[in-house]
Amino acid sequence: MTHIINFTCSPEEAQDPNFLEQRIRQELDVKASRQFVFRWRKRSIDARQKQIKINASFEVGIDSELAPRFALQNFEMLPSNAAVVHIIGAGPAGLFAALEAITRGIKPVIYERGKDIRTRRRDLAKLSKNQELNPESNYCFGEGGAGTYSDGKLYTRSKKRGDVQKVLEWMVQFGAKEDILIDAHPHIGTNKLPQLIEAIRLQILAAGGEIHFENKLTDISVKNNVISSIQINGLTEIPVQNLVLATGHSARDIFELLQRHQIAIKAKPFALGVRVEHTQAYIDGLQYHGRLNDAYLPPASYSLVTQVQDRGVYSFCMCPGGIIAPCATADGEVVTNGWSPSKRNNIYANSGIVVGIEPTDFPNAQDPFVCLHFQKEIEHKCWVAAGQTQQVPAQGLKDFVEGVKTAEFPRTSYQPGIVSVNLKEVLPEFIYSRLRQAFLDFNQKMPGFITNDAVVHAPESRTSSPVLIPRDPSSFKHIQISNLYPIAEGAGYAGGIVSAAIDGLNCIEKIVISSSNF
Protein backbone atom coordinates (compact mmCIF):
# COMPACT_ATOMS: atom_id res chain seq x y z
CA MET A 1 0.00 0.00 0.00
CA THR A 2 1.24 3.53 -0.81
CA HIS A 3 1.07 6.12 1.94
CA ILE A 4 1.15 9.87 1.36
CA ILE A 5 2.95 11.98 3.93
CA ASN A 6 3.22 15.78 4.00
CA PHE A 7 5.39 17.99 6.19
CA THR A 8 7.49 21.14 6.05
CA CYS A 9 11.23 21.21 6.58
CA SER A 10 14.20 23.49 5.95
CA PRO A 11 15.85 23.64 2.49
CA GLU A 12 18.92 21.86 3.93
CA GLU A 13 16.79 19.05 5.39
CA ALA A 14 14.92 18.65 2.12
CA GLN A 15 18.18 17.65 0.44
CA ASP A 16 19.34 15.28 3.14
CA PRO A 17 18.15 11.70 2.45
CA ASN A 18 18.99 10.54 5.98
CA PHE A 19 16.93 13.29 7.53
CA LEU A 20 14.04 12.56 5.16
CA GLU A 21 14.07 8.83 5.89
CA GLN A 22 14.10 9.37 9.66
CA ARG A 23 11.39 12.00 9.49
CA ILE A 24 9.12 9.85 7.33
CA ARG A 25 9.65 6.77 9.53
CA GLN A 26 8.84 8.86 12.57
CA GLU A 27 5.72 10.45 10.99
CA LEU A 28 4.37 7.05 9.91
CA ASP A 29 5.69 5.19 12.93
CA VAL A 30 7.65 2.69 10.81
CA LYS A 31 10.08 0.54 12.78
CA ALA A 32 13.69 0.32 11.57
CA SER A 33 13.22 -3.41 10.88
CA ARG A 34 10.52 -2.83 8.27
CA GLN A 35 11.41 -2.32 4.64
CA PHE A 36 10.41 0.95 3.28
CA VAL A 37 10.84 3.10 0.16
CA PHE A 38 9.89 6.69 -0.46
CA ARG A 39 10.00 9.27 -3.21
CA TRP A 40 9.07 12.92 -3.65
CA ARG A 41 5.46 13.52 -4.66
CA LYS A 42 5.21 17.34 -4.58
CA ARG A 43 7.65 20.09 -3.62
CA SER A 44 7.32 23.85 -3.21
CA ILE A 45 9.24 26.65 -1.51
CA ASP A 46 7.66 29.05 0.95
CA ALA A 47 9.98 32.06 1.20
CA ARG A 48 7.46 34.50 2.60
CA GLN A 49 9.04 34.46 6.07
CA LYS A 50 12.70 34.82 7.00
CA GLN A 51 12.64 31.15 7.97
CA ILE A 52 12.38 29.65 4.48
CA LYS A 53 10.45 26.38 4.33
CA ILE A 54 10.02 23.56 1.88
CA ASN A 55 6.51 22.11 1.66
CA ALA A 56 7.25 18.45 1.11
CA SER A 57 4.98 15.62 0.09
CA PHE A 58 6.17 12.01 -0.30
CA GLU A 59 4.85 8.69 -1.50
CA VAL A 60 5.91 5.90 0.83
CA GLY A 61 5.77 2.13 0.31
CA ILE A 62 5.99 0.04 3.50
CA ASP A 63 6.97 -3.60 2.86
CA SER A 64 6.08 -2.99 -0.78
CA GLU A 65 7.55 -1.28 -3.83
CA LEU A 66 6.08 1.91 -5.25
CA ALA A 67 4.23 1.62 -8.55
CA PRO A 68 5.77 3.55 -11.51
CA ARG A 69 4.75 7.18 -11.43
CA PHE A 70 2.80 6.80 -14.65
CA ALA A 71 2.19 4.36 -17.49
CA LEU A 72 4.23 4.98 -20.63
CA GLN A 73 2.13 5.87 -23.68
CA ASN A 74 2.36 3.41 -26.54
CA PHE A 75 2.63 5.22 -29.90
CA GLU A 76 1.93 2.39 -32.30
CA MET A 77 2.86 2.29 -36.00
CA LEU A 78 0.00 3.72 -38.05
CA PRO A 79 -1.69 1.51 -40.66
CA SER A 80 -0.93 2.47 -44.27
CA ASN A 81 -4.56 3.45 -44.84
CA ALA A 82 -4.80 5.70 -41.74
CA ALA A 83 -6.89 8.85 -42.07
CA VAL A 84 -4.77 12.00 -42.29
CA VAL A 85 -4.87 15.27 -40.37
CA HIS A 86 -2.86 18.22 -41.73
CA ILE A 87 -1.25 20.41 -39.08
CA ILE A 88 0.38 23.78 -39.73
CA GLY A 89 3.11 24.60 -37.22
CA ALA A 90 5.46 22.39 -35.18
CA GLY A 91 5.23 24.28 -31.89
CA PRO A 92 4.01 22.59 -28.70
CA ALA A 93 0.41 22.67 -30.01
CA GLY A 94 1.23 21.12 -33.40
CA LEU A 95 3.56 18.48 -31.94
CA PHE A 96 1.20 17.38 -29.18
CA ALA A 97 -1.70 17.33 -31.65
CA ALA A 98 0.43 15.04 -33.83
CA LEU A 99 1.23 12.71 -30.91
CA GLU A 100 -2.41 12.57 -29.89
CA ALA A 101 -3.43 11.85 -33.50
CA ILE A 102 -1.08 8.83 -33.52
CA THR A 103 -2.64 7.42 -30.34
CA ARG A 104 -5.98 7.57 -32.14
CA GLY A 105 -4.76 5.91 -35.34
CA ILE A 106 -4.68 9.13 -37.39
CA LYS A 107 -1.64 10.07 -39.46
CA PRO A 108 -0.35 13.60 -38.71
CA VAL A 109 1.26 15.52 -41.55
CA ILE A 110 2.96 18.67 -40.22
CA TYR A 111 4.13 21.65 -42.28
CA GLU A 112 6.56 23.95 -40.49
CA ARG A 113 7.95 27.15 -42.05
CA GLY A 114 11.12 27.05 -39.95
CA LYS A 115 14.03 24.65 -39.81
CA ASP A 116 14.79 21.58 -37.73
CA ILE A 117 16.28 22.27 -34.31
CA ARG A 118 19.96 21.83 -35.14
CA THR A 119 19.90 24.00 -38.26
CA ARG A 120 17.73 26.55 -36.51
CA ARG A 121 20.31 26.92 -33.75
CA ARG A 122 22.82 28.31 -36.29
CA ASP A 123 20.35 31.02 -37.31
CA LEU A 124 19.90 32.02 -33.67
CA ALA A 125 23.67 32.32 -33.25
CA LYS A 126 23.84 34.57 -36.34
CA LEU A 127 21.01 36.68 -34.92
CA SER A 128 22.60 37.13 -31.50
CA LYS A 129 26.18 37.61 -32.70
CA ASN A 130 25.87 39.29 -36.11
CA GLN A 131 22.36 40.75 -35.89
CA GLU A 132 21.38 38.76 -39.01
CA LEU A 133 17.65 38.04 -38.76
CA ASN A 134 16.20 35.18 -40.80
CA PRO A 135 12.43 35.85 -41.05
CA GLU A 136 11.71 32.11 -41.38
CA SER A 137 14.09 30.79 -38.72
CA ASN A 138 14.38 32.65 -35.44
CA TYR A 139 13.31 32.50 -31.78
CA CYS A 140 9.64 32.18 -32.79
CA PHE A 141 9.77 30.10 -35.99
CA GLY A 142 11.22 26.61 -36.36
CA GLU A 143 10.95 23.13 -34.90
CA GLY A 144 9.42 23.20 -31.42
CA GLY A 145 7.97 26.68 -32.06
CA ALA A 146 8.48 29.66 -29.81
CA GLY A 147 8.98 27.46 -26.75
CA THR A 148 12.08 25.63 -27.97
CA TYR A 149 14.67 28.09 -26.77
CA SER A 150 12.83 29.21 -23.68
CA ASP A 151 13.01 28.80 -19.95
CA GLY A 152 10.61 25.90 -20.49
CA LYS A 153 8.48 26.96 -17.57
CA LEU A 154 5.67 24.45 -17.42
CA TYR A 155 3.48 26.08 -14.84
CA THR A 156 0.01 26.81 -16.14
CA ARG A 157 -3.12 28.28 -14.65
CA SER A 158 -5.26 26.64 -17.33
CA LYS A 159 -5.85 23.41 -15.39
CA LYS A 160 -9.54 23.53 -16.26
CA ARG A 161 -8.77 23.38 -19.96
CA GLY A 162 -7.43 19.85 -19.87
CA ASP A 163 -4.93 17.27 -18.94
CA VAL A 164 -1.84 19.04 -17.60
CA GLN A 165 -0.61 15.77 -16.08
CA LYS A 166 -0.75 13.98 -19.44
CA VAL A 167 1.35 16.71 -21.09
CA LEU A 168 3.96 16.57 -18.31
CA GLU A 169 4.08 12.76 -18.35
CA TRP A 170 4.62 12.69 -22.10
CA MET A 171 7.40 15.24 -21.65
CA VAL A 172 9.06 12.92 -19.13
CA GLN A 173 8.58 10.03 -21.56
CA PHE A 174 10.45 12.08 -24.18
CA GLY A 175 13.33 12.92 -21.87
CA ALA A 176 12.37 15.60 -19.32
CA LYS A 177 13.35 14.93 -15.70
CA GLU A 178 10.68 13.47 -13.38
CA ASP A 179 11.16 16.63 -11.30
CA ILE A 180 8.63 18.35 -13.57
CA LEU A 181 5.97 16.05 -12.08
CA ILE A 182 7.01 17.08 -8.56
CA ASP A 183 7.90 20.77 -8.53
CA ALA A 184 5.15 23.33 -7.98
CA HIS A 185 6.71 25.53 -10.67
CA PRO A 186 8.38 23.07 -13.02
CA HIS A 187 10.77 24.12 -15.76
CA ILE A 188 12.99 22.33 -18.27
CA GLY A 189 15.55 24.85 -19.58
CA THR A 190 16.78 25.91 -23.00
CA ASN A 191 19.63 23.42 -23.07
CA LYS A 192 17.30 20.44 -22.45
CA LEU A 193 14.28 21.35 -24.56
CA PRO A 194 15.85 20.68 -27.98
CA GLN A 195 16.57 16.99 -27.18
CA LEU A 196 13.01 16.57 -25.95
CA ILE A 197 11.57 18.08 -29.10
CA GLU A 198 13.85 16.00 -31.29
CA ALA A 199 12.66 12.87 -29.45
CA ILE A 200 9.04 13.85 -30.15
CA ARG A 201 9.87 14.32 -33.84
CA LEU A 202 11.56 10.91 -34.04
CA GLN A 203 8.51 9.31 -32.43
CA ILE A 204 6.11 10.97 -34.87
CA LEU A 205 8.22 9.80 -37.81
CA ALA A 206 8.70 6.28 -36.37
CA ALA A 207 4.93 5.87 -36.11
CA GLY A 208 4.48 6.87 -39.77
CA GLY A 209 3.66 10.57 -39.36
CA GLU A 210 5.30 13.27 -41.49
CA ILE A 211 7.05 16.55 -40.62
CA HIS A 212 8.11 18.88 -43.42
CA PHE A 213 10.49 21.68 -42.44
CA GLU A 214 10.92 24.87 -44.45
CA ASN A 215 7.37 24.28 -45.68
CA LYS A 216 5.30 27.40 -45.19
CA LEU A 217 1.53 27.60 -45.61
CA THR A 218 1.12 30.37 -48.17
CA ASP A 219 -2.48 30.05 -49.31
CA ILE A 220 -5.68 28.08 -49.04
CA SER A 221 -8.53 27.25 -51.44
CA VAL A 222 -11.94 27.76 -49.91
CA LYS A 223 -15.22 26.54 -51.41
CA ASN A 224 -18.56 26.74 -49.63
CA ASN A 225 -16.89 27.51 -46.32
CA VAL A 226 -14.68 24.43 -46.54
CA ILE A 227 -10.91 24.49 -47.14
CA SER A 228 -10.37 22.09 -50.03
CA SER A 229 -6.61 22.45 -50.35
CA ILE A 230 -3.60 24.26 -48.96
CA GLN A 231 -0.70 25.77 -50.81
CA ILE A 232 2.83 25.25 -49.48
CA ASN A 233 5.73 27.58 -50.34
CA GLY A 234 3.63 29.24 -53.04
CA LEU A 235 3.82 26.11 -55.18
CA THR A 236 2.45 22.78 -54.07
CA GLU A 237 -1.31 22.28 -53.70
CA ILE A 238 -2.28 19.67 -51.14
CA PRO A 239 -5.89 18.53 -50.69
CA VAL A 240 -6.99 18.52 -47.03
CA GLN A 241 -9.87 17.15 -45.04
CA ASN A 242 -9.24 18.73 -41.66
CA LEU A 243 -6.75 21.53 -41.16
CA VAL A 244 -5.26 22.31 -37.76
CA LEU A 245 -3.83 25.82 -37.67
CA ALA A 246 -1.21 25.96 -34.88
CA THR A 247 0.91 28.82 -36.17
CA GLY A 248 1.63 30.79 -32.98
CA HIS A 249 1.30 34.47 -32.09
CA SER A 250 3.93 35.77 -34.51
CA ALA A 251 2.57 34.42 -37.82
CA ARG A 252 1.20 37.76 -38.95
CA ASP A 253 0.99 36.55 -42.55
CA ILE A 254 -1.51 33.90 -41.45
CA PHE A 255 -3.85 36.57 -40.07
CA GLU A 256 -3.47 38.46 -43.37
CA LEU A 257 -4.16 35.28 -45.34
CA LEU A 258 -7.39 34.67 -43.40
CA GLN A 259 -8.43 38.30 -43.88
CA ARG A 260 -7.75 38.03 -47.62
CA HIS A 261 -10.15 35.09 -47.80
CA GLN A 262 -12.71 36.99 -45.71
CA ILE A 263 -12.42 34.41 -42.94
CA ALA A 264 -13.54 35.87 -39.60
CA ILE A 265 -10.83 37.12 -37.23
CA LYS A 266 -11.04 39.79 -34.53
CA ALA A 267 -8.79 41.98 -32.43
CA LYS A 268 -7.84 40.45 -29.09
CA PRO A 269 -6.56 41.97 -25.86
CA PHE A 270 -2.86 41.30 -25.25
CA ALA A 271 -0.13 42.91 -23.14
CA LEU A 272 2.89 45.03 -23.91
CA GLY A 273 5.69 46.60 -21.93
CA VAL A 274 9.37 46.10 -21.24
CA ARG A 275 11.78 43.42 -20.01
CA VAL A 276 13.70 44.31 -16.89
CA GLU A 277 16.93 42.62 -15.81
CA HIS A 278 18.52 42.58 -12.36
CA THR A 279 21.39 40.37 -11.31
CA GLN A 280 20.21 37.04 -9.92
CA ALA A 281 22.19 37.62 -6.73
CA TYR A 282 20.27 40.85 -6.18
CA ILE A 283 16.89 39.12 -6.64
CA ASP A 284 18.01 36.25 -4.36
CA GLY A 285 18.90 38.84 -1.72
CA LEU A 286 15.46 40.49 -2.01
CA GLN A 287 13.44 37.27 -2.08
CA TYR A 288 15.45 35.17 0.34
CA HIS A 289 15.77 37.88 3.04
CA GLY A 290 19.45 38.49 2.38
CA ARG A 291 20.36 34.77 2.19
CA LEU A 292 22.91 34.78 -0.64
CA ASN A 293 24.78 32.01 -2.52
CA ASP A 294 22.75 29.40 -0.70
CA ALA A 295 23.43 25.98 -2.21
CA TYR A 296 20.12 24.67 -0.84
CA LEU A 297 17.91 27.24 -2.54
CA PRO A 298 17.18 27.57 -6.27
CA PRO A 299 17.70 30.96 -7.98
CA ALA A 300 14.78 33.06 -6.73
CA SER A 301 11.93 34.21 -8.93
CA TYR A 302 9.19 36.78 -8.44
CA SER A 303 5.64 37.28 -9.54
CA LEU A 304 4.31 40.81 -9.28
CA VAL A 305 0.97 42.30 -10.16
CA THR A 306 -0.76 45.62 -9.62
CA GLN A 307 -3.63 47.68 -10.96
CA VAL A 308 -2.88 51.11 -12.41
CA GLN A 309 -5.70 53.28 -13.74
CA ASP A 310 -8.05 50.29 -14.08
CA ARG A 311 -5.53 48.21 -15.91
CA GLY A 312 -3.49 45.18 -14.84
CA VAL A 313 0.29 45.57 -14.92
CA TYR A 314 2.20 42.39 -14.13
CA SER A 315 5.42 40.46 -14.40
CA PHE A 316 5.41 38.03 -17.31
CA CYS A 317 7.62 35.02 -18.04
CA MET A 318 10.14 35.70 -15.28
CA CYS A 319 13.41 33.88 -16.03
CA PRO A 320 15.67 33.31 -13.01
CA GLY A 321 19.30 32.77 -13.99
CA GLY A 322 18.39 33.69 -17.55
CA ILE A 323 19.20 35.65 -20.68
CA ILE A 324 17.23 38.22 -22.65
CA ALA A 325 16.81 37.02 -26.23
CA PRO A 326 16.18 38.90 -29.51
CA CYS A 327 12.77 37.57 -30.60
CA ALA A 328 11.89 39.66 -33.68
CA THR A 329 10.56 37.80 -36.71
CA ALA A 330 11.03 40.48 -39.39
CA ASP A 331 13.37 43.29 -40.30
CA GLY A 332 12.40 46.71 -39.03
CA GLU A 333 11.43 45.58 -35.54
CA VAL A 334 12.92 44.58 -32.20
CA VAL A 335 11.30 42.30 -29.63
CA THR A 336 12.60 40.91 -26.33
CA ASN A 337 11.77 37.77 -24.40
CA GLY A 338 13.73 35.61 -21.98
CA TRP A 339 15.11 32.11 -21.49
CA SER A 340 17.06 30.16 -18.88
CA PRO A 341 19.18 27.03 -18.97
CA SER A 342 18.04 24.06 -16.87
CA LYS A 343 20.27 25.01 -13.93
CA ARG A 344 19.22 28.64 -14.17
CA ASN A 345 22.83 29.46 -13.50
CA ASN A 346 23.30 32.66 -15.48
CA ILE A 347 24.12 35.68 -13.37
CA TYR A 348 21.01 37.61 -14.48
CA ALA A 349 17.28 37.48 -13.64
CA ASN A 350 14.89 38.97 -16.20
CA SER A 351 11.15 39.41 -16.49
CA GLY A 352 8.64 41.06 -18.75
CA ILE A 353 6.67 43.80 -17.03
CA VAL A 354 3.60 44.38 -19.16
CA VAL A 355 0.40 46.41 -19.32
CA GLY A 356 -2.89 44.92 -20.51
CA ILE A 357 -3.98 46.36 -23.87
CA GLU A 358 -7.61 46.32 -25.06
CA PRO A 359 -8.91 46.86 -28.61
CA THR A 360 -11.06 49.63 -27.13
CA ASP A 361 -7.88 51.57 -26.27
CA PHE A 362 -7.96 52.62 -29.93
CA PRO A 363 -10.61 54.53 -31.91
CA ASN A 364 -11.06 51.75 -34.52
CA ALA A 365 -11.65 48.90 -32.03
CA GLN A 366 -13.60 46.86 -34.58
CA ASP A 367 -10.59 46.54 -36.90
CA PRO A 368 -9.22 42.97 -36.40
CA PHE A 369 -5.70 44.34 -36.85
CA VAL A 370 -5.97 47.24 -34.41
CA CYS A 371 -3.91 45.61 -31.63
CA LEU A 372 -1.50 44.00 -34.10
CA HIS A 373 -0.81 47.36 -35.77
CA PHE A 374 -0.11 48.89 -32.37
CA GLN A 375 2.25 46.01 -31.46
CA LYS A 376 4.05 46.45 -34.80
CA GLU A 377 4.28 50.21 -34.37
CA ILE A 378 5.94 49.92 -30.95
CA GLU A 379 8.38 47.25 -32.17
CA HIS A 380 9.29 49.50 -35.11
CA LYS A 381 9.66 52.62 -32.97
CA CYS A 382 12.03 50.79 -30.63
CA TRP A 383 14.01 49.52 -33.65
CA VAL A 384 14.36 53.09 -34.95
CA ALA A 385 15.22 54.47 -31.50
CA ALA A 386 18.06 51.97 -31.05
CA GLY A 387 19.66 52.56 -34.44
CA GLN A 388 17.85 50.17 -36.81
CA THR A 389 19.69 47.01 -35.84
CA GLN A 390 18.79 44.23 -33.37
CA GLN A 391 20.11 46.38 -30.51
CA VAL A 392 17.29 47.49 -28.22
CA PRO A 393 16.57 50.78 -26.47
CA ALA A 394 17.38 50.54 -22.78
CA GLN A 395 17.35 52.57 -19.58
CA GLY A 396 18.36 52.05 -15.96
CA LEU A 397 15.24 51.18 -13.96
CA LYS A 398 15.62 54.15 -11.60
CA ASP A 399 16.16 56.46 -14.57
CA PHE A 400 13.08 54.95 -16.27
CA VAL A 401 10.97 55.87 -13.24
CA GLU A 402 12.53 59.35 -13.11
CA GLY A 403 12.19 59.83 -16.87
CA VAL A 404 15.86 60.61 -17.53
CA LYS A 405 18.29 59.08 -19.99
CA THR A 406 20.89 56.71 -18.54
CA ALA A 407 24.52 57.73 -18.76
CA GLU A 408 26.15 54.47 -17.77
CA PHE A 409 24.86 50.90 -17.75
CA PRO A 410 25.91 47.76 -15.93
CA ARG A 411 26.45 44.80 -18.29
CA THR A 412 23.31 43.12 -19.59
CA SER A 413 22.68 39.63 -20.99
CA TYR A 414 21.11 40.92 -24.22
CA GLN A 415 23.77 39.86 -26.69
CA PRO A 416 23.05 42.12 -29.70
CA GLY A 417 23.57 45.13 -27.41
CA ILE A 418 21.65 48.07 -25.95
CA VAL A 419 21.40 51.78 -26.75
CA SER A 420 20.62 54.42 -24.13
CA VAL A 421 17.19 55.90 -24.87
CA ASN A 422 14.71 57.75 -22.71
CA LEU A 423 11.85 55.27 -23.05
CA LYS A 424 9.36 57.89 -21.95
CA GLU A 425 9.87 59.36 -25.42
CA VAL A 426 9.33 56.05 -27.22
CA LEU A 427 6.50 54.32 -25.35
CA PRO A 428 3.01 55.84 -25.54
CA GLU A 429 2.05 57.82 -22.44
CA PHE A 430 -0.70 55.35 -21.40
CA ILE A 431 1.88 52.54 -21.31
CA TYR A 432 4.79 54.51 -19.85
CA SER A 433 2.79 56.05 -17.00
CA ARG A 434 1.29 52.71 -15.99
CA LEU A 435 4.66 50.97 -16.08
CA ARG A 436 6.18 53.78 -14.04
CA GLN A 437 3.49 53.54 -11.36
CA ALA A 438 3.70 49.73 -11.38
CA PHE A 439 7.45 49.88 -10.72
CA LEU A 440 6.76 52.16 -7.75
CA ASP A 441 4.15 49.67 -6.47
CA PHE A 442 6.53 46.75 -7.00
CA ASN A 443 9.18 48.62 -5.06
CA GLN A 444 6.77 48.71 -2.11
CA LYS A 445 6.24 44.96 -2.36
CA MET A 446 9.93 44.16 -2.99
CA PRO A 447 11.84 47.08 -1.44
CA GLY A 448 14.95 47.70 -3.54
CA PHE A 449 13.36 46.53 -6.82
CA ILE A 450 13.97 49.99 -8.34
CA THR A 451 17.67 50.46 -8.88
CA ASN A 452 19.89 51.62 -11.74
CA ASP A 453 21.70 48.30 -11.41
CA ALA A 454 18.63 46.91 -13.17
CA VAL A 455 18.23 47.57 -16.89
CA VAL A 456 14.92 48.06 -18.71
CA HIS A 457 14.95 46.68 -22.28
CA ALA A 458 12.16 47.51 -24.73
CA PRO A 459 9.85 46.22 -25.95
CA GLU A 460 8.27 43.08 -24.49
CA SER A 461 5.48 42.81 -27.03
CA ARG A 462 4.83 39.16 -27.99
CA THR A 463 3.07 38.15 -24.81
CA SER A 464 0.12 36.58 -26.59
CA SER A 465 -1.66 36.92 -29.90
CA PRO A 466 -3.15 40.35 -30.67
CA VAL A 467 -5.66 38.63 -32.99
CA LEU A 468 -8.32 36.01 -32.21
CA ILE A 469 -9.34 33.37 -34.75
CA PRO A 470 -12.83 32.63 -33.42
CA ARG A 471 -13.91 29.02 -33.05
CA ASP A 472 -16.92 27.21 -31.69
CA PRO A 473 -16.11 26.44 -28.03
CA SER A 474 -17.48 22.90 -28.12
CA SER A 475 -16.28 21.64 -31.52
CA PHE A 476 -13.15 23.85 -31.88
CA LYS A 477 -14.20 24.43 -35.51
CA HIS A 478 -13.75 27.91 -36.88
CA ILE A 479 -17.10 29.72 -36.63
CA GLN A 480 -17.32 29.99 -40.41
CA ILE A 481 -15.00 27.39 -41.98
CA SER A 482 -16.18 23.93 -41.04
CA ASN A 483 -12.90 21.99 -41.43
CA LEU A 484 -10.54 24.61 -39.97
CA TYR A 485 -9.35 24.10 -36.38
CA PRO A 486 -7.55 27.28 -35.17
CA ILE A 487 -5.70 26.31 -32.02
CA ALA A 488 -3.43 27.42 -29.21
CA GLU A 489 -1.54 30.67 -28.87
CA GLY A 490 -1.86 32.01 -32.41
CA ALA A 491 -5.60 31.61 -32.40
CA GLY A 492 -5.96 33.09 -28.92
CA TYR A 493 -6.76 29.90 -26.99
CA ALA A 494 -3.53 29.29 -25.07
CA GLY A 495 -0.70 31.18 -23.44
CA GLY A 496 2.40 29.13 -22.79
CA ILE A 497 3.86 25.75 -23.61
CA VAL A 498 1.56 23.55 -21.52
CA SER A 499 -1.71 25.23 -22.42
CA ALA A 500 -0.72 25.17 -26.11
CA ALA A 501 0.06 21.45 -25.87
CA ILE A 502 -3.26 20.81 -24.13
CA ASP A 503 -5.12 22.66 -26.87
CA GLY A 504 -3.34 20.43 -29.41
CA LEU A 505 -4.47 17.28 -27.57
CA ASN A 506 -8.03 18.53 -27.18
CA CYS A 507 -8.30 19.58 -30.80
CA ILE A 508 -7.61 16.05 -32.05
CA GLU A 509 -10.26 14.71 -29.70
CA LYS A 510 -12.73 17.21 -31.21
CA ILE A 511 -11.78 16.18 -34.75
CA VAL A 512 -12.32 12.52 -33.88
CA ILE A 513 -15.70 13.25 -32.36
CA SER A 514 -16.93 15.33 -35.28
CA SER A 515 -15.47 13.45 -38.21
CA SER A 516 -17.42 10.52 -39.54
CA ASN A 517 -14.31 9.36 -41.41
CA PHE A 518 -12.32 8.60 -38.27
Ligand X SMILES: Cc1cc2nc3c(=O)[nH]c(=O)nc-3n(C[C@H](O)[C@H](O)[C@H](O)COP(=O)(O)OP(=O)(O)OC[C@H]3O[C@@H](n4cnc5c(N)ncnc54)[C@H](O)[C@@H]3O)c2cc1C
Binding site for ligand X (CB under 6 A): 88-94, 111-114, 139-142, 145-147, 149-153, 216-217, 246-248, 251, 254, 317, 325, 327, 337, 339, 488-490, 494-497, 500
Provide, rounded to whole angstroms, the least separation between the CB of residue 397 and ligand X: 21
Chain centroid to CA 236: how far? 32
User: Assign residue 189 a region: left if phi > 0, alpha if psi is -120 to 50, beta otherwise?
Assistant: left
Closest CA to 296 of 6, 5, 7, 16: 16
Nearer to ligand X by Cβ, of 204 and 500: the residue is: 500
Nearer to ligand X by Cβ, of 284 and 503: the residue is: 503
DSSP state of 59: E
- For residue 313, what are the CA distances in angstroms to 273, 310, 493? 9, 10, 21
Provide, rounded to whole angstroms, the least separation between the CB of residue 71 and ligand X: 25
Cα(217)–Cα(236) distance, integer angstroms = 10
Cα(452)–Cα(352) distance, integer angstroms = 17
Cα(53)–Cα(232) distance, integer angstroms = 54
Provide, rounded to whole angstroms, the least separation between the CB of residue 263 and ligand X: 14
**Strand, helix or coil for residue 507:** helix
State residue 353 phi and psi, 5-degree precision.
Answer: -125, 115
In angstroms and rounded to an integer, the radius of gyration of the C-alpha atoms of the chain is: 24
β-bridge mates for residue 485, sequence order? 244
Cα(305)–Cα(233) distance, integer angstroms = 43
Nearer to ligand X by Cβ, of 79 and 135: the residue is: 135
Cα(223)–Cα(494) distance, integer angstroms = 29
Provide, rounded to whole angstroms, the least separation between the CB of residue 198 and ligand X: 14
Nearer to ligand X by Cβ, of 110 and 450: the residue is: 110
Provide, rounded to whole angstroms, the least separation between the CB of residue 339 and ligand X: 5
Provide, rounded to whole angstroms, the least separation between the CB of residue 401 and ligand X: 26
Nearer to ligand X by Cβ, of 204 and 317: the residue is: 317
Measure the CA angle with vertex 500, ends 377 and 107; round to 5°.
120
Nearer to ligand X by Cβ, of 248 and 459: the residue is: 248
Provide, rounded to whole angstroms, the least separation between the CB of residue 82 and ligand X: 22
β-bridge mates for residue 273, sequence order? 354, 460
Nearer to ligand X by Cβ, of 452 and 506: the residue is: 506
Nearer to ligand X by Cβ, of 152 and 393: the residue is: 152
State residue 409 phi and psi, 5-degree precision.
Answer: -110, 150
Provide, rounded to whole angstroms, the least separation between the CB of residue 68 and ligand X: 26
